[in-house]
Chain A
Amino acid sequence: MEQLLDILLHPEYLSSLYFCLIGIFASAIISFLPALHIYNVIGIFMLFVLKFEATMAPMELIALSIGMIVGYSVLNTVPATFFGPGDESMSYYILPSADWVNKGRGYEGVIMTGIGSLTGVIVLALLAPVFIYTLPTLKAITSPHMFWIIGAVIIYSIMSEWPKGLSQSPDCWTNFKEGWYYLGIGFLLFLASGLLGFIVMAKTMVPVQFAFQSITPVFVGLFAMPWLITNVINIGKVPHQHEAESVELDWDLVARGTFGGFLGGFFAAFVPIVTAGVGGLMAGHATAQRDGRLFVMSYGTCKTVYYVGSFLLFFIPGLSLTRGGLACIINPVVNVLTIKEYFIFVGLMLFAAGVSFLLLMPFTKLCLKIVESIPFQWVSIIAMIIVIPAVYLCTGWGGMFIMTVATGLGLIPVLFQARRMNLMGVLLLPVCLNMAGYGNVILKFLGLL
């Protein structure tokens, strides 16, 4: 620890702390852009930053990225809770947290999630030395099997959805049809999302110069727009939020929440395409979570471990797993990775988590002021006014068309009470089948090749 502090506080590396801080504050601003996926925003931000690449040392750029990803993973809970989620990982969390907002406990929920994020980063740091020895072996074992692991995730996601409906008809078949109506919609939604994924990946309508943003309109359409539209037409009002002085957590809950969240987050970070939402659902089932507080807290751990962990994997010497958008963006800049850089990463990650957590309370209070002073519908309308032109600027009319189609699909869960997670078929299905080597067959069948 002393050695790590020596390195971090050495004048040579002090600039890393400085850039890390800039990253955290930049992430606070990025977090405020409602309903946008982190990697898209960071992608645009990095395009701007990379202009300074010649004057920035690689470690400074890495420090900036660490600040951004850690800051975002901690702080994005706040606007997502009060304004709307930006991706599937957030939408998984956001609906249960909406209960807390309805009870006037949104502030407490955010702080609990923040505690979860902090414990997630601490566990990541504690396990960082272990990762060096274990993860290369895990990678070697699982690499040839990744396609069926994703396949298993798909099968479980579909099969774990239970029928809805009242089943109050005296006729069995009517009840059966009613229950399966929702299941059928969920399944069709998964397939339709998968089809959209195949089309977008094989023949995107996004112009070539914006190719790096080709998935943006899909995610905005599937997850952000439906949420904003729902908010606009929602006649409800956000109740007054109580700024609690303490949170209802004990060490047992913290330990259980961190454990469950870490499992889900790590699984999502390690397995490609799997998001924190999917990982969190599976870990929640695996550890039989029941308590609402446990869910909110463990979700903080899950999403932080997912976002930060997937970036951390890239820095593990001898592993260099490129998971998540940020690792892809940073990949060309980083040449050699040593143990020293890895532990500097870990130190900066802890530093960023601490600063972000301290920012969380004032940040939440600021958001609360906005929510309580501006009608909720207007916040969503403003968000749409930001998001739609942003999509047009980044992806052109082609992107706008994709976003419109994706919005249609994204509204189906809202209208028909299907799981939002089915929308992840957009990535899970094409990636799984491509990894298994069946992608071209399907593309040919669809006439896309």
Chain B
Amino acid sequence: MKGFTHFISGMAVASFFPQAVHMAAQESSFILCLGGLFGILPDTLDFKLAKYFYKSDFEVKPDPNKLDAREIANGVAQAVNKAIETGKGTVQLHTMQIASNRWRSYLLRFDTKTSEICVDIGPEVDTGQIPFDGTELTDPEKAHARVKVNCEFYQQFDKVSNIAIMTGPCFEFAKREDGKMEIVFLPWHRQWSHSFTLGMLIAFLVGLVTYFTIPEGPHPELYTIPRWMLYPLIILFGSMVHIIEDSTGFMGNNLFYPFTKGRTNGLGFMSASEGIPNFFFVWTSVICILYNLDRFTPTGNPAIASQATFWFWFYIVPVAIMVYFFLKGKKEKALKAKETGDKEKTVDFDGPQAVESETDASII
């Protein structure tokens, strides 16, 4: 799911605590933002920390002055071959920066039918990924390469990686029990950071601090939990909701790291990059926040006159519309795939480029 979806879901979870809503309304507390902060934290830990400290077995650093698609494909094949021998191999692909606003792009994909690693050198592009005319390689030998490997690929996400700007992607090849070679995209993603254990550990540590530092607020008799416990609970549920939301996609999480070793598969209900599923969670969160802010208002006079009307018009109707368009889209996609004979493509990637390439203007 998108970072924003996790962020607002975390705040929605926090709003279920009446004391937190009262603290926000009466004591100018930012406690509800704490849920949002920890809602987005697992991805922050991955993309701002974990990715820097993940060591790959091989690195492919193409030379923009000596372009050769085969060299890149061979570099990837090295990692696959290591995985064939030892069960696991990883490779980090790097981008090629030519000037401050000029990059050489290349495409990488894995052909499951022919067991080939396919690399195509693309044109030079600017940081906004706009190609420069006439910069394509003219020598087909250097521009395109297919390297066969001695294994059958298994990939959950039929994805062509366009490696062009900023940091390139990392792949892990892991031998499965059925003998196939699983392609794991961004192996450092959704590991320890996306585990219930980390959430519990942080909550425990914060709880230790708040137990000794946070005094009881006014009218404690109104609440079932003491104020000090509010902070760790919001942190715990904020990070949990992130993991639960991510589990609805195709890429799962490493739920009980370090007790569980690898990333599970997701439930596959929806793709993390799809608009409607993301908006479903966002809208659900918005409605929950508004509902909770209203019912826990310290004045005791809720502004929503009829809860049934509120839920019907602002939740049931919009969700029904979302479900209709979601299913319609699925049906159309399946029909299109049937017509073209292609496999239905799924992409489940919430990396920085996918999230921000269209919306963060400043990198251009």
* With A137-B304, A148-B30: A289-B293 Cβ-Cβ less than 8 Å: no
* With A155-B37, A162-B47: A168-B61 Cβ-Cβ less than 8 Å: yes
Picked from B4, B25, B279, the residue with its CB within 8 Å of the CB of A160 is: B4
Within 8 A of B (CB), among A132-160: 137-138, 140-142, 144-145, 147-148, 151-152, 155-156, 159-160
Give Cα A96–Cα B167 distance, bound, in whole angstroms.
21
Q: Are A285 and B37 in contact (CB under 8 A)?
A: no
Q: How far is the CB of A405 from chain B (nearest CB, A)?
A: 20
Q: Are B303 and A141 in contact (CB under 8 A)?
A: yes
- Interface stretch, picked from A14-22, A312-320, A416-424, is A416-424
Smallest Cβ-Cβ distance to A282: which chain B residue: B4
Is B201 part of the contact surface with A, judged by Cβ < 8 Å? no
Within 8 A of A (CB), among B43-79: 44, 47-49, 51-53, 55, 59, 61
Picked from B3, B30, B61, B290, the residue with its CB within 8 Å of the CB of A141 is: B290
Is B185 part of the contact surface with A, judged by Cβ < 8 Å? no
Within 8 A of A (CB), among B228-276: 273-275
Q: Are B52 and A285 in contact (CB under 8 A)?
A: no
Q: How far is the CB of B140 from chain A (nearest CB, A)?
A: 27
Residues of B within 8 A of A142 (CB): 290, 293
Q: Are B362 and A417 in contact (CB under 8 A)?
A: yes
Q: Are A151 and B33 in contact (CB under 8 A)?
A: yes
Give Cα A175–Cα B97 distance, bound, in whole angstroms.
16
Smallest Cβ-Cβ distance to B285: which chain A residue: A286
Is B2 part of the contact surface with A, judged by Cβ < 8 Å? yes
Is B209 part of the contact surface with A, judged by Cβ < 8 Å? no
Give Cα A138–Cα B297 distance, bound, in whole angstroms.
13
- Interface stretch, picked from B114-122, B149-157, B210-218, B351-359, is B351-359
Q: How far is the CB of A182 from chain B (nearest CB, A)?
A: 9
- Number of chain A residues whose Cβ lies closer than 8 Å to a Cβ of chain B: 64
Q: Are A161 and B360 in contact (CB under 8 A)?
A: yes
Is B11 part of the contact surface with A, judged by Cβ < 8 Å? yes
Is B94 part of the contact surface with A, judged by Cβ < 8 Å? yes
Picked from A93, A179, A281, the residue with its CB within 8 Å of the CB of B52 is: A179
Is B32 part of the contact surface with A, judged by Cβ < 8 Å? yes
Q: Are A160 and B3 in contact (CB under 8 A)?
A: yes
Q: How far is the CB of B183 from chain A (nearest CB, A)?
A: 21
Q: Are A287 and B278 in contact (CB under 8 A)?
A: yes
Picked from B275, B352, B364, the residue with its CB within 8 Å of the CB of A162 is: B352
Residues of A within 8 A of B327 (CB): none
Q: How far is the CB of A102 from chain B (nearest CB, A)?
A: 6
Is A103 part of the contact surface with B, judged by Cβ < 8 Å? yes
Picked from B7, B278, B362, the residue with its CB within 8 Å of the CB of A156 is: B7
Q: Are B355 and A159 in contact (CB under 8 A)?
A: no
Q: Are A91 and B361 in contact (CB under 8 A)?
A: yes
Residues of A within 8 A of B164 (CB): none
Within 8 A of A (CB), among B105-140: 126, 128, 130
Residues of A within 8 A of B360 (CB): 161-162, 281, 419
Q: Are B4 and A159 in contact (CB under 8 A)?
A: no
Residues of A within 8 A of B94 (CB): 166, 168
Is A288 part of the contact surface with B, judged by Cβ < 8 Å? yes
Q: Are B274 and A288 in contact (CB under 8 A)?
A: yes
Q: Are A285 and B3 in contact (CB under 8 A)?
A: yes
Is B36 part of the contact surface with A, judged by Cβ < 8 Å? yes
Is B282 part of the contact surface with A, judged by Cβ < 8 Å? yes
Q: Are A286 and B361 in contact (CB under 8 A)?
A: no
Give Cα A96–Cα B126 distance, bound, in whole angstroms.
12
Q: How far is the CB of B359 from chain A (nearest CB, A)?
A: 5
Q: Are B4 and A438 in contact (CB under 8 A)?
A: no
* With A156-B40, A437-B28: A138-B290 Cβ-Cβ less than 8 Å: yes
Is B5 part of the contact surface with A, judged by Cβ < 8 Å? yes
Residues of A within 8 A of B158 (CB): none
Q: Are A287 and B275 in contact (CB under 8 A)?
A: yes
Q: Are B166 and A166 in contact (CB under 8 A)?
A: yes
Q: Are A140 and B364 in contact (CB under 8 A)?
A: no
* With A159-B7, A179-B48, A288-B274: A281-B359 Cβ-Cβ less than 8 Å: yes
Residues of A within 8 A of B55 (CB): 172
Give Cα A138–Cα B286 distance, bound, in whole angstroms.
12
Q: How far is the CB of B131 from chain A (nearest CB, A)?
A: 10
Residues of A within 8 A of B297 (CB): 141, 144
Within 8 A of A (CB), among B175-211: none
Is A309 part of the contact surface with B, judged by Cβ < 8 Å? no
Q: Are A438 and B28 in contact (CB under 8 A)?
A: yes
Smallest Cβ-Cβ distance to B28: which chain A residue: A436
Give Cα A172–Cα B56 distance, bound, in whole angstroms.
11
Q: How far is the CB of A154 from chain B (nearest CB, A)?
A: 9
Give Cα A168–Cα B44 distance, bound, in whole angstroms.
20
Picked from A159, A173, A295, the residue with its CB within 8 Å of the CB of B3 is: A159
Is B363 part of the contact surface with A, judged by Cβ < 8 Å? yes
Is A44 part of the contact surface with B, judged by Cβ < 8 Å? no
Q: Mark B22-43, 1 if CB is under 8 A from A, else 0.
A: 0011001110110011001000
Q: Are B4 and A103 in contact (CB under 8 A)?
A: no
Residues of A within 8 A of B354 (CB): 290
Give Cα A93–Cα B364 distance, bound, in whole angstroms.
12
Q: Are B40 and A295 in contact (CB under 8 A)?
A: no
Q: How far is the CB of B350 from chain A (nearest CB, A)?
A: 10
Is B95 part of the contact surface with A, judged by Cβ < 8 Å? yes
Q: Are B130 and A145 in contact (CB under 8 A)?
A: no
Give Cα A179–Cα B36 distance, bound, in whole angstroms.
23
Q: Are B355 and A162 in contact (CB under 8 A)?
A: yes
Q: Are B275 and A256 in contact (CB under 8 A)?
A: yes
Residues of A within 8 A of B3 (CB): 156, 159-160, 285
Residues of B within 8 A of A179 (CB): 48, 52
Q: How far is the CB of B252 from chain A (nearest CB, A)?
A: 20
Q: How far is the CB of A216 from chain B (nearest CB, A)?
A: 23
Picked from B275, B278, B279, B362, the residue with its CB within 8 Å of the CB of A419 is: B362
Residues of B within 8 A of A289 (CB): 275, 358-359
Q: Are A147 and B28 in contact (CB under 8 A)?
A: yes
Is A284 part of the contact surface with B, judged by Cβ < 8 Å? yes
Residues of A within 8 A of B305 (CB): 137
Q: Are B293 and A141 in contact (CB under 8 A)?
A: yes
Residues of B within 8 A of A183 (CB): 48
* With A137-B303, A290-B273: A285-B359 Cβ-Cβ less than 8 Å: yes
Cβ contacts A to B, 15 pairs, < 8 Å: A95-B128, A99-B364, A137-B304, A137-B305, A142-B290, A152-B11, A152-B33, A160-B355, A162-B355, A166-B166, A286-B2, A286-B278, A286-B279, A288-B2, A290-B354
Q: Give the top 10 A-B pairs by smallest Cβ distance, nearest first.
A: A95-B361, A162-B352, A285-B4, A140-B303, A176-B52, A288-B275, A419-B362, A436-B28, A144-B25, A286-B282
